[in-house]
Homo-oligomer: A and B are copies of this chain.
Amino acid sequence: MGLSDLFDPDSIAVIGASKTPGKLGNDAMANAKEFDGPVYPVNPSGEGSVYGYDFVESVAETDADLALCCVPAPATPDVLQECGEAGVGAAVVFAGGFAEAGSDGKQLQEQIHHTAEEYGISVLGPNTAGHIMPHRNVFSSFVPGFDEIEAGNVAIVAQSGGVGVTATFQLDREGYGTAGMYGLGNRVNTDFDDVIPVLDADPETDAIALHIEGTSEIDATIETIHEASTPVVALKSGNRMEEFVQAHTAAPIQEYGRYEREFTDAGAIMADSMTELLDASRVLAKCPVPEGPNVGLVTAQAGPGIMMADYLQERNVNFPALTEETRARLDDILLGFTYDQNPVDTGRPMPEFGEVIDAVGRDDNVDIVLVYEIFEHSLGYPVEELEQLTNDIEKPVVFTVAGPDAALTEDRERMEELGVATFDTPERGAYAASVLAEMS
């Protein structure tokens, strides 16, 4: 019952399922069909089957524990009542037109809230794009293309379905999947503080990315962030657009400073943009927590290395002096390299570049290893040296890649498999290192 049916259903009913392409109930079926267990398209006027599943007349005829409600707002209270009577434990309500839409909508939302409490149904939404959990083949959303999202280790919890969808596809475009996307919408009884503990306990989720416009459950949310051992990154949105936000997810008007202050105190990283939200989550999901904030920067090209060093110094990140031992080793490898301190600059890619990273990575003064190198086909990236290094040390390694797209793909994927977080512009690599420094 309840949350467990939302996160780990055994069977799914799609209420309002349709054979007509472009209809919500058809788009939802196109995603739900990926589920390994029973899927029931529910529609009293449905004939035959849709995506190979036979229509049923009513949710009462099913053993579904998760229901996807593809009906307009006014029909939702009755549908939810039927779900309750049929023993459904969780429901996703896609429709808008509830608390965000004025007093009639507020009343409708109160009705479904009442029904949900009466039957112990966990309702995701209303006014949501739904949720997906690729590890479980659960794609309970109307968003076309969501059935092709791969499994990853970053979970996205978004107040706005549109933000959740945007984030999911952004990860996808860059070659990453997601551990799950949860669009909370109007949060009738499933709010941030309900979802965060479940994800914290989920072995597939290694970082939690939050998009928040505002919640009345702010204290409980802060408490769950504080208690989570899984890293949490948060983007607070709607700081300047109060009226627009109210019309969106019926979020309460709250001060941004409070979120920033209290979330940070609770151990969360505050992100300023979609890219920062995902990059911070990716690096925290991929890398061990560093023991300290000291960055060792190794670059094969001075110019981008200087840009990264600038970025980090502006954020008060420290580049410690390297030990005598490391410097001696670097002297053996590089006979007069361009810049012989931290940052270490090798001038250009070279066969020994992996050894240079290794020397800096093993330096006792270095807690976080940050690398920049433009890819060259004849050399490739130093994957073997990184494999040895990441086996031997428990430090985060961030590798900033550059070069032609096609050349990068393979080595980049191999590095990710080794636990090296990769980013593709100087500022993104530097940002990731600054997040690690902040988490230390």
Residues of B within 8 A of A161 (CB): 301, 303
* Complex contact B238–A160 (CB within 8 A): no
Q: Distance in Å from the Cβ of A190 to the closest Cβ of chain B?
A: 17
Known: A273-B426, A274-B426. A306 touches B170 (CB 8 A): no
Residues of B within 8 A of A72 (CB): none
Question: Which stretch of A260-268, A386-394, A400-408 is in the interface?
Answer: A400-408
Interface size band for A: 35 or more
CA distance A43 to B423 in the complex (A): 41
User: Does A439 lie at the interface of the complex (its beta carbon under 8 Å from any beta carbon of B)?
Assistant: no
Residues of B within 8 A of A75 (CB): none
Q: Which residue on chain B has the smallest CB distance to residue A100?
A: B338
Q: Distance in Å from the Cβ of A352 to the closest Cβ of chain B?
A: 14
Residues of B within 8 A of A170 (CB): 402, 424-425
CA distance A238 to B235 in the complex (A): 30
User: Does A374 lie at the interface of the complex (its beta carbon under 8 Å from any beta carbon of B)?
Assistant: yes
Q: Which of A368-412 contact B (CB under 8 A)?
A: 374, 376-378, 402-405, 407
* Complex contact A173–B247 (CB within 8 A): no
Residues of B within 8 A of A377 (CB): 144-145
* Complex contact A160–B237 (CB within 8 A): no
Residues of B within 8 A of A258 (CB): none
* Complex contact A405–B374 (CB within 8 A): no
Known: A144-B377, A306-B245. A275 touches B166 (CB 8 A): no
* Complex contact A427–B273 (CB within 8 A): yes
Residues of B within 8 A of A274 (CB): 304, 307, 425-427
Known: A172-B405, A238-B310. A248 touches B303 (CB 8 A): yes
Q: Distance in Å from the Cβ of A130 to the closest Cβ of chain B?
A: 13
Q: Distance in Å from the Cβ of A171 to the closest Cβ of chain B?
A: 11
Which of B22, B237, B314, B425 lies in contact with A306, CB distance below 8 A?
B237
Q: Distance in Å from the Cβ of A53 to the closest Cβ of chain B?
A: 21
User: Does A148 lie at the interface of the complex (its beta carbon under 8 Å from any beta carbon of B)?
Assistant: yes
Q: Distance in Å from the Cβ of A57 to the closest Cβ of chain B?
A: 28
* Complex contact B376–A307 (CB within 8 A): no
* Complex contact A306–B173 (CB within 8 A): no
Per-residue contact bits, chain A 413-428, to B (CB 8 Å; 1 contact, 0 not)? 0000000000011110
Residues of B within 8 A of A427 (CB): 272-275
Interface residues of A, Cβ cutoff 8 Å to B:
21-22, 96, 100, 143-145, 148, 158-166, 169-170, 172-173, 211, 213, 235, 237-241, 243-245, 247-249, 272-275, 300-307, 309-311, 313-314, 338-339, 341, 343, 345, 347-348, 374, 376-378, 402-405, 407, 424-427
Please provide the 9 A-B residue pairs with the shortest distance between their CB atoms, ordered closest to farther: A160-B303, A162-B301, A163-B303, A273-B427, A240-B313, A162-B303, A248-B302, A173-B405, A166-B402
Contacts beyond the supplied A237-B307, A240-B309: 15 A-B pairs with Cβ under 8 Å: A160-B306, A161-B301, A161-B303, A162-B304, A166-B402, A169-B374, A173-B404, A237-B303, A240-B313, A241-B309, A247-B338, A248-B345, A274-B307, A274-B426, A275-B427
